[in-house]
Structure 1
Amino acid sequence: MIPDNESIIYIADNHEVCVSKFLSLVNAVWPGEYHEQFTKEALQKTINITAWDHEKLVGCVRILTDGYFFGTITEILVRPDYQGRKIGKHLMEMAFKHSPTSLFIGAQPGKEHFFEKLGYTKSIQSFQKKKQRK
């Protein structure tokens, strides 16, 4: 049984995100093999807003920004067993509040409605050219 939302604590601009707890969250959403040192370096380059259920990291949104011209959400993650409880909505509201710039998001196919419900509008078309992760 999952506790109610009153047990969820949010931390804005969390510079102390534990890499192993973050990777546990990532693997709950996107299973894979991730390098701890590269993950640590990536976390240090973003504004990290986190959601905690006691000691368990249950959600995170990361903002990459130059502080003036551009800001983007690199990812928003909520553990599957915590989804549907408005944690993602609250993280995104906090992201907009704490971002020094407007935010641009590349939504994964099928997830566009989540962002539209939060007041985001379709904007520039996004493109990608993938590199293999180290």
Structure 2
Amino acid sequence: MDYRVDDKKLTAWTFISFANQVWQGDYDVEKTQMALSRTLNITAYDDEVLVGCLRILSDGYFFGTITELLVLPEYQKRGIGSRLLQLAQENTPTMLFFGAQSGNESFYEKNGCQKSMQSYTLMVSSTKKDN
């Protein structure tokens, strides 16, 4: 497995193709590329196939969050997600806050993450979202 911290070569096309295998969505290529350029992207490749990705968004001092941690279903339970979390911890300047899908709590707890504050969602108005 080839792990890359701050993967600057990760393209929107590669990420979208990968993400759709884990989390189906109608992803915009330009907006995805812009999002990738604003995060620290830690990736896992099997040969040249993207099989895992963890993205960190941080202000560099006060706050950091894991926007997503995705591993292709056929590569799960092989330690890839755990290694991505370890690399995130080693390469972020801040504490990381993030949400977890229900049912995945044991994975995060097994990897040394501590449950903390409850999260909330504030939806963006549809007029603002289209801009």
TM norm structure 1: 0.90
Alignment of 1:60-75 (within 5 A): 60-75=53-68
Secondary structure at the aligned position of 1:89 is classed as helix
2:70 paired with 1:77: yes
For structure 2, list consecutive stretches of 5 or more residues without a partner in the other structure.
none
Deviation of 1:24 (Å): 1.1
Deviation of 1:129 (Å): 2.5
Deviations 1:58-94 (A, max 9, x none): 0000000000001110000100111110100000000
2:94 paired with 1:101: yes
Cα distance in structure 1, aligned partners of 2:25 and 2:62: 33
For structure 1, list consecutive stretches of 5 or more residues without a partner in the other structure.
1-7
The structure 1 residue matched to 2:116, chosen from 81, 106, 123, is 123
Q: Which residue of 1 aligns with 2:103?
A: 110
Deviation of 1:110 (Å): 1.0
Could you tell me the percent identity over the aligned residues? 50
* RMSD of equivalent CA atoms: 1.3
Deviation of 1:32 (Å): 1.9
The letter of the residue matching 1:101 is: T
